[in-house]
Every structure is written in structure tokens, then in C-alpha cells.
Amino acid sequence: MDAVTCTAPVNIAVIKYWGKRDEALILPINSSLSATLSQEQLCAKTTVAVSGQFTRDRMWLNGKEESLENPRYQNVLREIRRRARKRKIAGEGKGTSLSDALSWHVHICSVNNFPTAAGLASSAAGFSCLVYSLAKLFRIEGDISEIARQGSGSACRSLYGGFVSWNMGEKDDGTDSVAEQLVTENHWPELQILILVVSDQKKHIGSSAGMGVSVKTSELLRYRAEHIVPRRMKEIETAIQNKDFQTFAKITMQDSNQLHASCLDTYPPIIYLNDTSKQIMHLVHKYNDFCGEIKVAYTFDAGPNACLYLLEEDVAGVLAMVNHCFPPIEQNGDQYIRGLQVEELPIQKDLKESLGFTPLSPGALKYIIHTKVGAGPQVLPSTECLLDENGLPKDAHS
Amino acid sequence: MDAVTCTAPVNIAVIKYWGKRDEALILPINSSLSATLSQEQLCAKTTVAVSGQFTRDRMWLNGKEESLENPRYQNVLREIRRRARKRKIAGEGKGTSLSDALSWHVHICSVNNFPTAAGLASSAAGFSCLVYSLAKLFRIEGDISEIARQGSGSACRSLYGGFVSWNMGEKDDGTDSVAEQLVTENHWPELQILILVVSDQKKHIGSSAGMGVSVKTSELLRYRAEHIVPRRMKEIETAIQNKDFQTFAKITMQDSNQLHASCLDTYPPIIYLNDTSKQIMHLVHKYNDFCGEIKVAYTFDAGPNACLYLLEEDVAGVLAMVNHCFPPIEQNGDQYIRGLQVEELPIQKDLKESLGFTPLSPGALKYIIHTKVGAGPQVLPSTECLLDENGLPKDAHS
């Protein structure tokens, strides 16, 4: 059995991907840009293995066997094997086990180091990790973001650390619709992230189904993709290169709001933000007004959770406000604020008065994750392998 | 003392007005269209009086004296007097008290037959009633919607019954930005309206301030006004003329959603819909899906209240669903469903199952108003005068 184990990060877009121009190849109607989050707090970990003993392709996700029939998995496996075969034909695979590996079945075992129930976009990390691991196993070189994209669009952005753009491309075959690193994780070390995990009853429409309806019915989405995003991409790239937080933060909020505006303009409308999400938005604007400049920016994906971008020096102050407005609920041993450590402060008295906000009852937020911008996927030593010598999960509940 | 007393209706737009191209003249960036609601359920009632005894212009709103300094009142009074003076110069006013009236001060007394706390757009009815009454008092002829528009934009649409369009016009002086009746209140008698008054803590930004920020910051609003509304106006006018409920209802929902999408695209974002509003939207789509065609349409203005358009034959069924999902709270003598009478039915069993909706705790809705399309402003007999012989309110709390 040949096996490779890797981890891959979550990414949070500041210019949002919403809408495909090609459903099969997952080609977007606009370019997008995201920060890669540190894998200390959030990552997917995947082992891929091949063996002549395996009788079929199998996969276990978070301890549970899942079907590989989903076309997204089939596309990824087919593309990986096609690229490996190309290398073999070119002679590069000679004398290695690649010839064998190509005829063998694959076993995949993947776990997240965060609860999937949190509603954090885990498919980007998962597909990125799967493709990265398979590429290592089959010794594929060159751009693999095109393969990850065919698993889950935004997965291509999780293949690099720092800030990453996904260029929409122009070609029909998608070969120019690839991810590209804008700056590494060391470029803007002061930038940190707070993820406010919002309590929510509602089952939301998935982003893939949602964007399909939006593309069909929202004229505002089409206008956004064609006329607004291209300019915003340039502006935010410059802002990130210059570490210009004011511009970065404003565009981030505007683009999140425009994504959700496009969702509301969809017929029937799609609504991901709930009253708690709206209160977070309101508080962020109030806090920035109070400070006289933008200190913190929110962004929301296809759910009610808020992701806040802010500089390290402002984390304690913002957390004090969040703690005041959204008091923690009794946890059974779990911490309310998880991840990077920061001094716990009470809310500033004059800020509290300026907000005029009646704290919600405990439980509006489930918990908070404090993290920063991080690196791309990593290869782990074989001791971290998730599969045993028979290619079965070592711990069905790991 | 010369006095005139009139009533004027509320109107609910199906193609929304959002954004001015001229703040002073209140000229909109797009045309809009509304239904005028029956005054049986909702109306403003206003007495205007002139007398040589009055020492200054005064106004009482819902029993409380208010300042007339607001430029909107000043604009209306100035325009009315200018138009009256023009008639006098033209000789039409000769031998009447118009010469006197023009030099006298005016007293205004206005009441609504519905609680202002309900958050129903009362300024349209109020300004429409004020302008209509003043026009009768000063015997002004010709189009007065231009004057009402300068009090409150959408007030111009309350000057007619049935369905009324407000044509945005092109001229800089606003003389072609006037209201026009599309069909009378007798054209589509089957059409009825349910207003779901939603409980809400939040103080929302007023529509005038809100649309000012939207015009400055939302590119989606600009696109909507220029490229989407003109087509929708034509389509919905045809649908109303043909009593084509399917088309009418779909455009109504789409345009409401697009207004709120534009608000969300504003920076900072404006959010009028709360979780209850969203649940109403969701239920309406679920109900229509269940029925296999559109039976009911929602529309929302600058607040969380829903206005539902539906045909008379579907009112009992929809009310049964609303009653099931939003149980009434104990009222102190007041009815939960007010206005037109309709048979109370339990929710259909298979609809209930199909919705899969857990009823909210009582009180999410304050109450429901059941009404229909109605007539324009009416002149009342002098016995209905709200002012006594000294020009003071007969009942400070009427």
C-alpha cells in the first residue's frame, strides 16, 4: 500500500464567488479572492492510499463511509488519473510504482479538525486536501488548482497560503480558470480573523444549488459579475499589497453585502443572513463609527456565520464588544473563544454607551474562533496516516 | 373661517420607488406603480381652514401640534399658494374669497384611522390628504400630484383610486413627474390585500434618508432604475390591465426583493426585513408551490410589515395558514384580523404537512388588516370638520 497524508486549509473569500458559467467544469462568472486561514484552528486532514489489494475505490469522511459516486469525486479521480497517465506516457513514471498505482483502486480517509455542524465551508478544505494528497501520491506536477476546482469551485483557492485569487479565465475548457497566490501568509502578519459561529435553526439552500438559481434569475448578479467585480478585484489586490486595511475592509463588506443582495434578488429569493448576522453587521458599523475609522470588516458566506477581518491590535477590543453584546451560553467544558489567545477585556464604557445595544440572551452565538492568515496544504509524516495496513480507517470516529 | 375636510388613502407599491434624482423637488430615479387601498380600513382625514383671525400657520397631527417648518410642508403651502395666485391673476378668483384666503393663515388638523405605531406608510396618505384638501379650499384645478410629490414622493400616487403609476418624467423642473391612474378601483374587484403587521424592536432608518444613501453608494440600485424598472413597469401594467394575477404577483415579489437587495447593497447596508418577514416570504413561496401556481404575492416597504396581494377566493386559505404559523397573541379586546370579514377556516391538513413549519410563539405578528383596492381622496361634509369655530382641534385626542 502506498499512502500520503496531508492537511489543507479553509479559505474565506473577500471577493465572493457566486455563479457558474459552466456547471460541469465549475467555471465561474467572475473572479474571486480569499484569505487562507491558519490550519492550527481549521483544516481538513486526508490520507489517500493505493494498493493492489483494494477491490474498489472507497472513502470515509469524518469516520463514516461515503459514496464516491458524486460526479465531483469522479471528476477529481478521473482528472488525477488522466494527468498521471500523461506523465507515465512521457516516460517520467518509468521504473516507479506509478504504472501499478494507476491500475489500483484508491482509499480515501478524511477528517476535519472542527465540527462540521458549525456550518463552516468545509468542502473547500476537503477537496483541496483530497486533490493535493492525490497529486502527491501520483507525483503530479504543474497546476492542480484546475483539478480542485472541479471538485468544489472555491477549493482551488485553498491550495495556497496567504491571499489567493481564482481567475475566472476565458477558455471554454477551463484551463485558464486557476488559482494564483497574490501574497504569502507572511506578507500581512498583523491581519487576524474572528469567526462568529451563529446559532441557526434553518436549513439553508446549499451554495451550489443557490448560485444555480441566482444565475438563472438575478439580473443584478449578472451586472455585478460583469461590471463590478473586475474593478473590485483590482482595487482589493492593490489594497492587500499595500496592507491598506481601510480599503481592504470596506470592499470586503461591500462585496459580502452585494453577494447577499444578489441572493435576495434571486427568484425565489435566497436568504442566508439571520437577525443575529444583521446585528453583527450593525455592531461592526457602529464600532467603526465610534473609532472614527474602519477597524473591523465582516463577510458572510452561504450561511449566517460572520467572519471578521481585523488587525491584531484591535482583537481584544472587538472581542470585548462581542462578548458584551452576545453573552456566552454555559458550555459543557468547551471554551467560548477558541484558537489564538488574547487578553480578555471588559467593553469600553463609552463604547457601550455609544452602542446603545441591549445584550442578547446567551446562545445567539455558539462560539468564536480566533485565527489568522495561514499557509497552504502540508504533507504529513507517515505516522499521521489515517488508514491502517489494510487500508481501513484506524479510528472510525477519529 | 373657510374649511374643507377630506380623506385620502394609503397606497402600496408593487413597483417600488427608491431613490431621488432631485432631493428638493423629489424627482425619482425610476417610475413606480401602486394599488390604492380602501379607505374603510386605512385613511388619513384632514381639515384645512383659512381665516383672517388666524395669526400664523398651524398644524395638529393625531391630536398633537407639530411644527410646519419642515421644508416639505413649506414646499406644499408655497406651491398651493402660487397656483392659487395664478388662478386669481387669471381672473378666475374674482369676486370670491380667494383673494382674502390667499393672505390669510392656514390651520391644518389631520388624523389617521389606524395606529401610527403600526409602521404603515402614513406620510403618503397624510400629504395626499393635505394637498387634496388645500386644493379644494383654494379651488385649484389641474394636476395636483406634482404638489403632493413635493410633500412626500409616494403621496402623489394616493391622489387616485385603483392602480396608479408615478411617471418619473424627464424635465428638470419636475412638471412631468406626475401620477396617473392606470385603472379604477372597479377594474379588478377580486383583488384583495392582507397587511401582516410584524412585531419589531428595531428603529429603522427612514425611507428618505435610506434612499439618499442608496443612490450614493449602490451601483445595483442605479442599474435597477435604468435597466430593469422600465421593462417591469410595462409588464405589470399589461398584467393589471389583463387581470393576469400570475404575472402581476411574480413581478410584485421580484420588485420587492430587488428593492431590499438594493438596500443591502447600500453602504452601510440598510436592512428592513427581519426574521419574521423572511418567514412570511418563505411561507408564501411554499404555499404557491403547494398550490402549483402563484396564489399570493408579498411586498415589503421600508419596514418588516408584509403586504400580501391575493384574490378574494384565496383569502380564507391563506389566512388559515398565517393563523397556524403565527398564532395570535392575547389581545385586550382588539381583533387579530381586522377589516373585511372572511370565514375562519383551519389550515388544510396536507398543506400543514407540506409546510413542515413549526408555529412561532404568539406575538410575532401584532395583527392583520384585511382590505381591498379602493378609491381616491374624498371630500367630506362640513359636519366632519376636525376644527372648531376658532380653528382649534375639536378633540385634541381624536
| Model pLDDT, residue B92 | 55
Q: What is the DSSP letter of B42?
A: S
| Cα A310 to Cα A298: distance, rounded to the nearest angstrom | 9
Cβ–Cβ < 8 Å for B318, B287: yes
Are residue B50 and residue B199 in the same domain, yes or no? Answer: no
Average pLDDT rounded to a whole number, residues A61-70 = 93
Residues 308-347 of B with CB under 8 A from A: none
Q: Which residues of A, range 102-161, sit inside 8 Å of B by Cβ?
A: none
The answer to whether the Cβ–Cβ distance between B271 and A281 falls below 8 Å is yes
A139-154: pLDDT as tens digits: 998 999 999 999 999 9
| Nearest neighbour of B264 by CB, restricted to A223, A264, A268 | A264
Would you state the pLDDT for residue A89? 67
pLDDT at B396 over 70: no
Whether the per-residue pLDDT at B82 is higher than 80: the answer is yes
Taking contacts as CB-CB distances below 8 angstroms, the residues of chain B near A280 are none
Nearest CB to A275; choose among B223, B264, B275:
B275
Chain segment A120-129, per-residue pLDDT in tens? 767 899 999 9
pLDDT at B332 over 90: no
Nearest by CB to A223, which of B223, B260, B274?
A: B223
> pLDDT band for position A81 (50/70/90)?
very high
pLDDT of residue A203: 75
Do residue B164 and residue B210 come from a single domain? no
Measured between CA atoms, how close is A64 to chain B, in angstroms?
29
Picking from B219, B250, B271, the nearest residue to A278 by CB comes out as: B271
The answer as to whether A392 is a domain residue is: no
**CB contact at 8 A, A268 and B285:** yes
Do A124 and A145 share a domain, yes or no? yes
Asked if residue A312 and residue A234 are part of one domain, the reply reads yes
Q: Does B360 contact chain A (CB < 8 Å)?
A: no
Nearest residue in chain A measured CA to CA from B357: A202
Decide if B140 contacts B81 (C-beta within 8 A).
Answer: no
CB B272 within 8 A of CB B303: yes
Measured between CB atoms, does B219 come within 8 Å of chain A?
yes
At B384 the pLDDT is 96
**In which element (H, E) is residue A74 found?**
helix A71-89
Q: Which residues of B touch A250 (CB under 8 A)?
A: 267
Whether residue A224 and residue B227 make contact (CB cut-off 8 A), yes or no, is no
The answer to whether residue A230 neighbours chain B at the CB level (below 8 Å) is no
Non-local CB neighbours of B1 within 8 Å, separated by 6+ positions: B49, B50, B51, B53, B387, B389, B391
Decide if A271 and B257 are in contact by the 8 Å CB cutoff. Answer: no
Q: Are both A87 and A167 inside the same structural domain?
A: yes
The number of distinct structural domains making up chain A is 2
What's the rounded Cα separation, in Å, for the pair B277 and B280?
5
Q: Which residues of A touch B268 (CB under 8 A)?
A: 253, 285
Residue B330 confidence (pLDDT) above 80: no
Least confident of A224-228, A330-334, B164-168: A330-334
Is the Cβ pair B269, A257 closer than 8 Å? yes
Q: Interhelix angle for B245-264 vs B229-241, to 10°?
A: 150
In a domain, B391, yes or no: no
Residue B143's CATH number:
3.30.230.10
ipTM, two decimals: 0.93
Mutation to test the B interface, candidates A205, A271, A355, most B Cβ within 10 Å: A271
The 10s digit of each residue's pLDDT in B136-153 is 999 998 999 999 999 999
Q: What are phi and psi of B284, to 5 degrees?
A: -60, -45
Quote the CA–CA distance of B250 and B297 in Å, as a whole number: 7
Question: Which chain B residue has its CA at the smallest distance from A272's CA?
Answer: B278
pLDDT band at A398 (very low <50, low <70, confident <90, very high): very low
Nearest of A196, A188, A373, A343 to residue A284 by alpha carbon: A196
- Structure confidence at residue B103 (pLDDT): 87
* Residue B235 CB-density burial (10 A; 0-12 exposed, 13-18 middle, 19+ buried): middle
Q: To the nearest whole angstrom, how far is the Cα of B209 from the nearest Cα of chain A? A: 17
CA separation for the pair B287, B167 (Å, rounded)? 34
> Domain check: are A178 and A247 in the same one?
no
Domain contains B397: no
Record: contact A267-B253, CB cut-off 8 A:
yes
Asked if B231 is an interface residue toward chain A (Cβ–Cβ < 8 A), one would say: no
| H-type alpha helices, A138-179 | 145-151
Chain A 27-56, residues with CB within 8 Å of chain B CB atoms: none
Most confident of the ranges A270-284, B107-121, B199-213: A270-284
Chain B residues lying within 8 Å of A220, measured CB to CB: 220, 223-224, 258, 261, 265
Given a contact cutoff of 8 angstroms between Cβ atoms, the answer to whether B152 and B126 are in contact is yes
Q: What is the CATH number of the domain that holds B223?
A: 3.30.70.890
The residue of chain B nearest to residue A224, with distances taken between CA atoms, is B220
Same domain for A206 and A147?
A: no
Whole-angstrom distance, CA of residue B232 vs CA of residue B219: 19
Report the residue of A264, A272, A290 to disrupt the B interface, i.e. the one with the largest count of B CBs within 10 Å: A264
Nearest CA among B168, B189, B191 for reference residue B178: B168
State the Cα–Cα distance between residues A28 and A167, nearest whole angstrom: 9
Chain mean position to CA A297: 17
Within a domain: A390:
no
Q: Please, what is the end-to-end C-alpha distance for chain B in angstroms?
A: 21
- The whole-angstrom separation of Cα A170 and Cα B127 is 54
Contact A148, A128 (CB under 8 A): yes
The verdict on residue B392 lying in a domain is no
Question: Considering only alpha carbons, which residue of chain B is nearest residue A221?
Answer: B220
Residues A161 and A195 in one domain: no
Q: Based on the domain organization, do B157 and B219 belong to the same domain?
A: no
Alpha-carbon gap: B375 to the closest alpha carbon of chain A (Å): 32
pLDDT at position B259 is 98
- Checking if the pLDDT of B57 tops 50, the result is yes
Instruction: Give pLDDT, residue A330.
Output: 74
3-state secondary structure B274-329: CHHHHHHHHHHHHHHHHHCCCCEEEEECCCCCEEEEEEHHHHHHHHHHHHHHCCCC
Per the structure, the complete domain to which residue B200 belongs is given by 191-372
Q: Is the pLDDT of residue B398 over 50?
A: no
Neighboring chain B residues of A264 at a CB cutoff of 8 Å: 257-258, 260-261, 264
Q: Please say whether the dihedral angle defined by the alpha carbons of residues B6, B12, B16 and B18, taken in this order, is positive or negative.
A: positive
Q: Is the pLDDT of residue B207 over 60?
A: yes
Task: Please give the grid coordinates belonging to residue B7.
Answer: 380623506
**Residue to test with chain B: of A258, A282, A299, A355, most B Cβ within 10 A:** A258
Give the H or E element holding residue A180.
strand A179-183
CB pairs under 8 A between A and B: 67
Asked if A86 and A230 sit in the same domain, the reply is no
B265 interfacial to chain A (CB closer than 8 Å): yes
In a domain, B164, yes or no: yes
Same domain, A203 and A88: no
Looking at chain A, the whole-number percentage of residues with pLDDT higher than 70 is 95
Average pLDDT over chain A reads 93
Distance of CA B163 to the CA centre of its chain: 12
For residues A391 and A385, give the distance between their C-alpha atoms in angstroms, rounded to a whole number: 10
- Give the gap in angstroms from C-alpha B15 to the nearest C-alpha of chain A: 14
Report if residue A203 sits inside a domain: yes
Of A102-106, B162-166, B278-282, the poorest mean pLDDT is in A102-106
Q: Do B220 and A278 touch (CB under 8 A)?
A: no
Task: Note whether residue B398 is domain-resident.
Answer: no
Dihedral angle of Cα B151, B157, B159, B164, to the nearest 10 degrees: 170
Reported as a single tens digit per residue, the pLDDT across A26-62 is: 999 999 999 999 999 999 999 999 999 999 999 999 9
Residue A5 binned pLDDT confidence (cut-offs 50, 70, 90): very high
Q: Which residues of B touch A281 (CB under 8 A)?
A: 269, 271
Q: B273 CA to chain A: closest CA distance, Å?
A: 9
Q: A199 or B221: which carries more pLDDT confidence?
A: B221
> At residue B222, does pLDDT exceed 80?
yes
User: Does residue B128 sit in the same domain as residue B201?
Assistant: no
Half-sphere exposure of A146 (CA within 13 A, CB side): 17
